[in-house]
Chain A
Amino acid sequence: MTIPSFKKDMFVMLIFSAVILTMPMWLKPLGAGYPDLLQKFAIFGIFAVGYNILFGLTGYLSFGHAAFLGVGSYTAVWSFKLLTMNVLPAILFSVVLSGIVAAIIGFISLRRSGIYFSILTLAFAQMFYNMAYSVLTPVTNGETGLQLARTDPRIIDNMLSEAGAGLPSPGLFGIQMSGYSGFYFCAVLLIIAFFISQRIFHSPFGMKLQAIKSNQTRMKYTGYNTRPYLLTAFVISGMYAGLAGALMATTDPLAGAERMQWTASGEVVLMTILGGVGTLIGPLLGVGIIKYFENIFSALNEQALLAAYSFMPDWLAKMMVTITSPFVGEGWHLTLGALFVIIVVFLPGGIMEGLGKIKNLFRKRPPDPVEKTLVEGQIQEEKA
């Protein structure tokens, strides 16, 4: 395994930043270029990139990361309620608190590995969810979700200025966090998050984590105590989740308990695997696909389908609507489920493997070793 040169990494970062920042433009023809979905892409991108640091590098499959996302969201909203509508303290508190929670849960859960680790994290997340939904309602506002109110104390803000007539909204020194400005804020954080993740992947620390994945026993025999490394990775990914949670609350100031349900943790697992575990870009592709399905596919109805098929003769259009309508709108889950099955059967390395295969088709010379490490490294190791 070779670590790509710093120069190459910087080149990747440059392209990556350009692609992310131009998203509003190139996603528009796909019907996904509106602020809310763009924000969701960036936020879940951060979540998945962070998750990949744990799962992709160490192979530890956590089913509890949604809990950290939830902790981040609640912390951010409380910071808005109690201190200030400025997003910086909210984000800071969220990341720190979710890091602490991750450290506690990680410390306990990392005593076990494999499926036991998964069940431990799952159990913790479910406890968080159940408690947040019912008993902890004074803190979380239960089913309704934690919301801002005009009468909140907001100590710092109220010291500086009079409260307005309406609900204030989160901002960064006057930049609004809804709409496109909110997206660019999230996008910048995503780029930073991606950069950190890239540095971790290509650092000696990252190499050690990968070594744990391929053979933990061997690592232990060579004198390494693996747990501090694992715990560090766990806490980092927990902080990423906390950041994502804080951004969710920032762009849309409401925190609900469903964010912590095990299915929400499952979603990030699916995103990561779908895109390509252990690859840098893969999880982001997974995020794109799942969020696109959830927001765009689910909104297609017969009216929209008829419009899409309007170029066809009437009878054919009607027939096509009948055939396709079970897969869109209320049937979007069906399409997504089928997609999981197909991808994992034919492309075990996720979409990244598929892209790699396509790339190799067009390339006569043997694949670039760096590319190979990035794309197929993990799979190779599994097989070895």
Chain B
Amino acid sequence: MSDKKNSNGWSRRDIMKAAGAFTAAGAMPMFFSRGAWADKTFVNNPGNSKTVKLGFNVPQTGAYADEGADELRAYKLAVKHLNGEGDGGMMQTMKPMHLKGNGILGKKVEYVTGDTQTKSDAARASARRMIEKDGVLMFSGGSSSGVAIAQQSLAQDMGVIFMCGLTHSNDTTGKDKRRYGFRHFFNAKMSGLALGPVLKKEMGTDRRAYHLTADYTWGWTQEESIKETTEGLGWKTVKTVRTPLGAGDFSQYITPVLNSGADVLILNHYGKDMINSLTQAVQFGLRDKIVNGKQFEIIVPLYSRLMAQGAGKNIKGILGTTNWNWALKNEGSKAFVKSFGNEYGFPPSQAAHTCYVQTLLYANACEMAGTFYPPEVIKQLEGFKFDGMGNGPTEYRAADHQCFKDVLVMRGNEHPTSQFDLLEIVQVVPRSQVEYPASIFGGELGPYKV
């Protein structure tokens, strides 16, 4: 069986470890210095196999199931393109590119799927199945930052690379960053930085903001980032109120806004919470109010198409940010939208885009490294500069595994022509404006070899 993981799930490394463990059992609590067997054997090494497996772990049940379904479509498309089927999508536009359309390193790509249920436990169980049973070399997926962070730390423990799907919390590449986790999606800090200049232009520097924030870590990091930006513009923060996750009816949090003297409402909510709070805020007539002689405004810092669809016409005229939008006219976006649209009959969402790009990036890094050995692949991804993937020139920053690229500031379209045209691009904020030093969030990546 040499260094190939046998179907039992026992790799030689495991057996050696266990053997070592038993001999050392007499010693008092000891740690494994896991790098002790630092030859090129690694978890799920495909060896001479003709195929490699990737794991796509997305929410298939629960509130984000539709987003998960769109991510899965993108993954399937990416696998097709990697194997040289279809029109190749962004493989026509990606620069620099080492992919040859014959799988990864000549091995045909297969995939397994799993359901995260948008719960950390379920996501980790599903990911461990992929690693232990199916033998995947990389797993990917998203829709919630808590779940992404949980999977990322599992990736580090198991020594298998995790390419994050949609996750927007600063913590993913901040205090909870990991050597084995990579995020292409943007984050709350970048949303704040991108919104700054647009807010200044549209609403001026004398505003009073009221925050409603989902009461969990992602909400808090976004509130903090947006507050930093708006206060930098000279805005005052009237109040920040925490709302329970899944509150459903937000009326009791919205009515205090009416008399607070605030003239901007910032909704740090995502998914269903955002759909409900925005719908209800508009029903309470906030958008029609004039406060302090100014038109009352609502801001939703993180937008997604599914949220826009759920909120319907309430979204009209409301500002927010996205990572990507299918209406972008650059070559990479056009190639991807064409390929996705022809396959499924509608344009891809930003979640689909980031998942597709992540899969290609991983495959490309393997080609560049010439091996699947994770530490080498990681080194190729770190600091990798590329273009033609829909976001302009992009860089995977080595210090925190965060991609830096342009951010889109969007507005709810007043006159949508189709159900996919709900958001319009206000401004493409260049990468230079959304960059920040990696050191501000702390955290550490951890070792290459585990």
Contact = CB atoms under 8 A, between A and B. Distances in A.
B150 interface: yes
Interface in A289-314: 294-295, 298-299, 301, 303-304
Contacts of B24: 174
B134 to A, nearest CB: 8
A258 B119 contact: yes
A55 interface: no
- Name which of A163, A173, A175 has the most chain B CB atoms within 10 A of its CB: A173
B371 interface: no
A166 B29 contact: no
Contacts of A86: 29
A281 B24 CA distance: 37
B110 to A, nearest CB: 8
Contacts of B120: 144-145, 254, 256, 258
A384 interface: no
A332 B22 CA distance: 41
- Name which of A33, A163, A166, A180 has the most chain B CB atoms within 10 A of its CB: A166
Interface stretch (A97-105, A129-137, A187-195, A340-348): A129-137
B27 A174 contact: yes
Contacts of A160: 28-29
Interface string B224-253: 000000000000000000101100000000
A152 interface: no
A332 B28 contact: no
A174 B30 contact: yes
A73 to B, nearest CB: 9
A372 interface: no
B29 A85 contact: yes
Interface string A116-156: 00000000000000100110010001111101001000001
Given A34-B133, A137-B217, A144-B171, A295 B125 contact: yes
Interface residues of B, number: 64
A181 interface: yes
A142 B217 contact: yes
B232 to A, nearest CB: 26
A295 B126 contact: yes
Contacts of B326: none
A374 to B, nearest CB: 32
Contacts of A174: 21-22, 24-25, 27, 29-30
B69 A298 contact: no
B247 to A, nearest CB: 11
B188 interface: no
Interface in B115-133: 115, 119-122, 124-126, 128-129, 132-133
B446 interface: yes
Interface stretch (A35-43, A197-205, A217-225): A35-43
B316 interface: no
A318 interface: no
B149 interface: yes
Given A35-B132, A40-B125, A295-B129, A143 B146 contact: yes
Nearest to B119: A258
A310 to B, nearest CB: 15
Contacts of B14: 179-180
B125 A181 contact: no
B157 interface: yes
B150 A256 contact: yes
B61 interface: yes
B213 to A, nearest CB: 11
B389 to A, nearest CB: 26
Interface in A254-300: 254, 256, 258-259, 294-295, 298-299
Contacts of A40: 125
B435 interface: no
B391 interface: no
Nearest to B116: A298
Contacts of A173: 25-29
Contacts of A165: 33, 35, 447
B150 A161 contact: no
A174 B32 CA distance: 8
Contacts of B114: 298-299
B33 to A, nearest CB: 5
Nearest to A89: B29
A150 B29 contact: no
Contact of A144 (B18, B128, B145): B145
B146 to A, nearest CB: 4
B446 A150 contact: yes
A169 interface: yes
Contacts of A180: 9-10, 14
B152 to A, nearest CB: 10
Contact of B153 (A133, A134, A147, A175): A147
A144 B132 contact: no
A168 interface: yes
B112 interface: yes
B131 to A, nearest CB: 8
Nearest to B28: A160
B173 to A, nearest CB: 14
B387 interface: no
A254 B145 contact: no
A163 B447 CA distance: 13
Contacts of B33: 164-166
A36 B128 contact: yes
Contacts of A252: 124, 128, 154
A35 B30 CA distance: 23
Given A133-B245, A254-B150, A299 B18 contact: no
B149 A144 contact: yes
A256 B153 CA distance: 13
A58 B122 CA distance: 31
A157 B18 CA distance: 21
A7 B1 CA distance: 45
B303 interface: no
A171 interface: yes
Given A34-B132, A258-B121, A133 B215 contact: yes
- Name which of B69, B114, B125 has the most chain A CB atoms within 10 A of its CB: B125
B30 A254 contact: no
A270 B110 CA distance: 36
A17 interface: no
A381 interface: no
Contacts of A169: 31-32, 157
User: What 8 pairs between A and B have smallest CB-CB spacing?
Assistant: A330-B60, A36-B128, A143-B216, A143-B146, A34-B133, A134-B215, A256-B120, A298-B115
15 contacts: A31-B133, A40-B125, A85-B29, A143-B217, A144-B176, A160-B29, A166-B156, A169-B31, A174-B27, A174-B29, A179-B9, A179-B10, A252-B128, A254-B124, A259-B121
Given A33-B9, A330-B60, 13 more contacts: A35-B9, A137-B217, A145-B150, A164-B32, A164-B33, A169-B31, A169-B32, A171-B21, A174-B27, A174-B30, A175-B22, A299-B115, A330-B61
